Amino acid sequence: MRELFLDMQQEMIMELNKLRKHVTHAPTKGDTVELSWIEFLSTYLPNRYCVDTAFIVDNTGIRSDQIDLVIYDQQYSPFVFCHSGVKYIPAESVYAIFEVKQTLNKQHLLYAAEKAESVRALERTSVPIIHAGGIYPPRPTFDIVAGLITTSSDWTLPFGKPFQEVNKELKPWQRLNIGCTLDSGSFLLKADGTFDISSKEESLIFFFIKLFIQLQNLGTVPAMDIDLYSQVLDSI
């Protein structure tokens, strides 16, 4: 398994570097890199997890900024709205969000933190779930996982002092739980506020396994209150 991930990591690095070199139109380059990560996570995460680029909405009609990569559920929060090719996902459905950039630096860390805040500030509902044996009570909402994915780093030491200082500036709703700099290493924010950092050789396998563990720990998303959403469909 380790060797498979290492081979996959090298293939992704080569492919993304090729895109950086030959695709000069910035929006096209960004879209292609996002698609590469969406395809990877869609392939290797269990089928219960959907992965897309989307806006996140809540039942009051508030919308997040566009999110490069959203990991979400469609079982208990089944509605994903699509308008003119753009997806709108209810906040209740969301497990994790990521910004996808070319490089790790202060600007991109702060940008990802702002996107995280725009999603975590949304209102989420939770209603009882009816099952064969009775009714499950409403499930408490959890903290949505947020992170940043890049191909390389502008810093010589990707997760050194500049990285640590930027993260100290972030407010609770802005904190990034996990991230991957494909050719340099990955990070995981621990409960004590420090970071677990991978080697650059194992950045992809570290990122995938730690992300999967976080998703498992979240359990199942809450069941959304569909009646509340039906009142604002015209505003989406």
Does the annotation mark 165 as catalytic?
Answer: no
Question: Active-site residue among 87, 101, 115, 210?
Answer: 101
Question: Active-site residue among 68, 73, 92, 183?
Answer: 68
Does the annotation mark 92 as catalytic?
Answer: no
3-state class (DSSP) for residue 142:
coil
Question: Active-site residue among 34, 58, 92, 99?
Answer: 99
Question: Can you give the length of the chain in residues?
Answer: 236
Gyration radius from the chain CA atoms: 18
Does the annotation mark 114 as catalytic?
Answer: no
Q: Which helix (H) or strand (E) holds 131?
A: strand 129-131
Q: Rounded CA gap, 136 and 128, in Å?
A: 6
Q: Which two tokens stand for residue 169?
A: 């500036």
Q: Rounded CA gap, 170 and 182, in Å?
A: 23
Whether the CB-CB separation of 102 and 152 falls below 8 Å is answered with yes
Q: What is the 8-class DSSP label of residue 154?
A: S
* Of 116, 211, 194, 191, residue with least CA distance to 159: 194
Residue indicated by tokens 């990802």: 112
First CA to last CA distance, the chain? 43
Residues catalogued as catalytic: 68, 99, 101
